[in-house]
């Protein structure tokens, strides 16, 4: 993952935020969705904050990319959001992330965005 960004979160900081966000390690918005192990969750949150935030805004309220707030994602199909992360969107600047993420990890990211990132 990119580590030279001015917006860096320590693993302890992200774990603290997760622990105090009301989300539990086993929270699952979509039944059957796999929850990544703790170390990978920290990496994924860092990726979302740095890489996704660079286009979607540091608060995910939009920028070059569309907003990714819980309100903006409400009513959007889980599978469509997951597939957008994995395969990108043709004709837009949204790249495919499937070389770096599994389907389960992309699903977990969707769940976290739908709830509001800690």
- The Cα 8–Cα 70 span in angstroms is 23
Read off the pLDDT of residues 31-56 as tens digits, 9 standing for 90 and up. 446 788 889 999 999 999 999 999 99
Greater pLDDT, 118 or 91: 91
Q: Quick check: 50 and 103 in contact, CB under 8 A?
A: no
Q: Which residue has tokens 């302890």?
A: 12
Question: How many Cα atoms sit within 13 Å of 3 on the Cβ side?
Answer: 4
Domains (ranges, CATH) in the chain? 11-115 (1.10.760.10)
From first CA to last CA, the distance across the chain in angstroms is 19
**For residue 112, what pLDDT is reported?**
95
- The Cα 43–Cα 10 span in angstroms is 10
**For residue 33, what pLDDT is reported?**
60
pTM: 0.72
Mean pLDDT, rounded, for 85-111: 96
- % of the chain exceeding 70 in pLDDT: 71
């Amino acid at each position: 993952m990119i580590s030279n960004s001015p917006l860096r979160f320590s693993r302890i900081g992200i774990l603290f935020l997760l622990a105090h966000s009301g989300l539990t390690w086993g929270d699952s918005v979509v039944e059957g969705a796999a929850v990544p192990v703790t170390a990978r969750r920290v990496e994924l949150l860092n990726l979302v904050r740095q890489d996704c935030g660079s286009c979607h805004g540091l608060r995910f309220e939009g920028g070059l990319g569309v907003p990714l707030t819980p309100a903006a994602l409400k009513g959007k199909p889980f599978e469509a959001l997951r597939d957008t992360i994995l395969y990108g969107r043709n004709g837009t600047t949204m790249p495919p992330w499937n070389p770096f993420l599994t389907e389960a990890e992309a699903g977990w990211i969707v769940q976290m965005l739908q709830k509001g990132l800690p």
